[in-house]
Amino acid sequence: MDLHLTGKTAVVTGAGRGVGLAITRQLVAEGVRVVGAARTVTAEFKETGAYPVAADLSTPEGAEALGEQALAHLGGVDILVNNLGGGDAFTLQGFLGTDDRRWARCFEVNLFGSVRVTRHLLPSILERRGTVLNISSMSARLPGTGPIEYAAAKAGLNAFGKALAEEFGPQGVRVNTVTPGPTRTGMWEDEDGFGARLAEAQGLGHREFLAGVPAAMGMTTGRMVEPEEVAAVVAFLASDRAASVTGADYVVEGGGIKTV
């Protein structure tokens, strides 16, 4: 299917690894000119063909710098993918073991960074009648499945996207959310990542733990999500094939969410 994306411009945050890297590759393959932002510009990221910007988007200064560089390089933005997020610093101590500093850090990374980048780029997106896509998490819908501060931040991101869709839809801007379930990224698979720490806390080997995640999360498919599967949904929603889709939340979670 031709998504008619050739020649469009995009900004992807959290583009250096995992889902963000897959989204960047997918959009570049569709003919999109992409500016990708990451705290660390890796060799894999450089190889995508995207224009790399090293920025810490959990700070106002980082978001402003990305906005300026993206507009200078692209001339204008058609597509914004707010993929920034994660939980490498999550505590496993539960609510009473999670202090204000951890709550604030989680919200900076998983909500406020996207709010700030959107604020900087939305005027250009409005001019081009473009689209905004926020990458959320299954935890936003099933808060008990993730650290409480992460679930709350992602639920806030969902509400943010829905409100933007209502406010700017009449001006031609579409805003949608994509909600992955557990996805085969470094957050789960790295030996020093969140998944490895969860496994240790449960007294399991890392690989043994990962093999049990789909069943533990009720994923009907029996396997974790692949980053490329999320990227394919993003590309569709970014295209004019989805011209009547706005304010929606597309779940890519292997059937783990059982409610209608």
Tell me which residues are annotated as active site: 150
Q: What's CA 188's distance to the chain center, in Å?
A: 15
Cα torsion angle, 203, 205, 208, 212, sign: positive
Pair type for strands 249-252 and 9-13: unpaired
Q: Using CA atoms, how far apart are residues 71 and 211, in angstroms rounded to an integer? A: 43
Angle between helix axes 206-216 and 194-201 (nearest 10 degrees) is 90
Strand partners, 132: 80, 175
Contacts of residue 241, defined as CB under 8 A and 6 or more positions apart, other chains included, come to 1, 3, 4
